[in-house]
Structure 1
């Protein structure tokens, strides 16, 4: 029922109202809320900002300055003809959005590819980030087995064998578990051409860069759907939590698209992490789950 309510709620969402011209793309975003700490939501591969609308509303009501945006080639952000999606361009776009809004040390919240992208941004620009919340995403710096490395290399070629008409439905059923979330996910996936989706998938893989010695230099929160069976997330995220000494928030009855499968539980976990950081001094406590 919650997922069905989330689906219909998302359909009524106000469009992103602000545009930012970028090389090869036009990025769309919206900033809401007052003068509280900034929270920037970055969606997953093939999805768009609507997957975070319920959480962004709750975070805004809690007094935060919220930003929703669509990565190039996703949702309302245009990818110009002949342009391709790359991780480097997406990182540069995120930087440009933060610069445009003048955000100082916001919390980055990223799902799947958005989580990989946010991790990479922190790795390059830790001084610009006040905290990192990763939702159903693998650990960029985490260890990979030989089989996992092979799986990463073969993912895009295998997806390329699936007919374009069937790909959105297959991906949606692999990503969500509730009927409403599956329907919404399939609808969003279907808007992206297959060749762009494969570029996006390659970009996601390129952000995985194992480094056993690396630890997240900003406060870290981790959220995962209990039924997430995509990639190695169910294995990697608990390992990451133990390595960093933070709590992993596991949401029952939810798959990879946890924000749509279990919007209320996901929102509670997100607010729990944010409120701990808001009232704790990050200079004394590096990472809080």
Structure 2
């Protein structure tokens, strides 16, 4: 586990984060529901060595960011991430989010289009996608379905659904085991809050979409290709990876991220 030496106290929670510092282009990594900053260990090692500044954090109630007396909501998550960016005085960082972190990062870019310079989404639903009746039903039933799973089985089942490699599954089990079932369901409900169909919306900054070849969570496998087509970008599909592609195939994802960053306007690129 990467040490998170810094603390930002916000609304009943001590948010923990780590910042590699430096003058390179800043990237802020936001993890998935039930996970924590550890899921980005490989990215935190790879990117600073190439001149980028990397910030990782634990969302409230996750990992080391406790207590979380105010509870987790979509609105509070947006407020927390914006406050962290402002606290660190980051100049238009690249937002990188996996699953819930991708939904959160989309929401930030949609609400505050001048706050970030680019968006990288790994295995997350398309927030503003038009939803079919079947997709509406799946969204509606997601939380009740999870609520029926016994608490003792939830970390294992979520890990198996999220990752392909045993290394990634083991870390997912560790992370999911830290969050009580009641709090996890609260986080899941907040994730659903980010899904607000707006078919005409287009991301106002450069966008990178990354999906594991074997990601079977939600409608990501079918919706992300449509999202890429709507935005006029090329979807990056990671061979052999599941929902947590950055842990199943870290080197391939690292290279995809770096390749995208090099296409961001040259005046904002990090030095080598």
TM-score (norm 1): 0.91
Q: Which residue of 2 aligns with 1:214?
A: 201
- How many positions carry a matched residue from both structures? 269
Q: Which residue of 1 aligns with 2:140?
A: 153
Question: Quick check: 1:15 aligned with 2:3?
Answer: yes
Q: Which residue of 2 aligns with 1:84?
A: 71
Kindly state the Cα deviation for residue 80 of structure 1 after the two structures are TM-superposed.
Answer: 3.3
Q: CA offsets, 1:229-273, max 9 Å, x none? A: 000000111101011111111000100011111111111111111
Kindly state the Cα deviation for residue 144 of structure 1 after the two structures are TM-superposed.
Answer: 0.8
- Whether contact under 8 Å (1:33, 1:63) holds in the other structure is no
Q: Which residue of 1 aligns with 2:58?
A: 70
Question: Quick check: 1:101 aligned with 2:101?
Answer: no
Question: Quick check: 1:251 aligned with 2:220?
Answer: no
Q: Which residue of 185, 204, 209 corresponds with 2:191?
A: 204
Question: Quick check: 1:52 aligned with 2:40?
Answer: yes
Q: Which residue of 245, 250, 253 corresponds with 1:266?
A: 253
- Whether contact under 8 Å (2:2, 2:37) holds in the other structure is no
Indicate how the Cα distance of structure 1 residues 64 and 278 shifts in structure 2: closer, same or farther if over 3 A, else same: farther
Q: Which residue of 2 aligns with 1:42?
A: 30
TM-score (norm 2): 0.96
Question: Any unmatched runs of 5+ in structure 2?
Answer: none
Please give the secondary structure, in 2, of the residue aligned with 1:169: helix
Please give the secondary structure, in 2, of the residue aligned with 1:149: helix
Structure 2 Cα separation of the partners of residues 275 and 77 of structure 1: 32
Q: Which residue of 224, 230, 248 corresponds with 2:217?
A: 230
Kindly state the Cα deviation for residue 278 of structure 1 after the two structures are TM-superposed.
Answer: 4.8
Q: Which residue of 20, 33, 36 corresponds with 1:32?
A: 20
Please give the secondary structure, in 2, of the residue aligned with 1:45: coil
Runs of 4+ aligned residues of structure 1 deviating over 3 Å after TM superposition are none
Please give the secondary structure, in 2, of the residue aligned with 1:36: coil
Kindly state the Cα deviation for residue 281 of structure 1 after the two structures are TM-superposed.
Answer: 8.1
Kindly state the Cα deviation for residue 277 of structure 1 after the two structures are TM-superposed.
Answer: 1.0
Structure 1 Cα separation of the partners of residues 178 and 268 of structure 2: 43
Kindly state the Cα deviation for residue 198 of structure 1 after the two structures are TM-superposed.
Answer: 0.1
Please give the secondary structure, in 1, of the residue aligned with 2:54: strand
Structure 1 Cα separation of the partners of residues 90 and 181 of structure 2: 34
- Whether contact under 8 Å (2:60, 2:68) holds in the other structure is no
Cα RMSD, aligned residues only: 1.3
Structure 2 Cα separation of the partners of residues 246 and 80 of structure 1: 38
Question: Quick check: 1:134 aligned with 2:118?
Answer: no
- Whether contact under 8 Å (1:225, 1:256) holds in the other structure is yes
Pick which of 56-65 and 112-121 moved more. 56-65
Q: Which residue of 2 aligns with 1:170?
A: 157
Structure 2 Cα separation of the partners of residues 47 and 281 of structure 1: 30
Pick which of 108-117 and 30-39 moved more. 30-39
Please give the secondary structure, in 2, of the residue aligned with 1:40: strand
Indicate how the Cα distance of structure 1 residues 263 and 84 shifts in structure 2: closer, same or farther if over 3 A, else same: same
Kindly state the Cα deviation for residue 36 of structure 1 after the two structures are TM-superposed.
Answer: 1.1
Q: Which residue of 2 aligns with 1:122?
A: 109
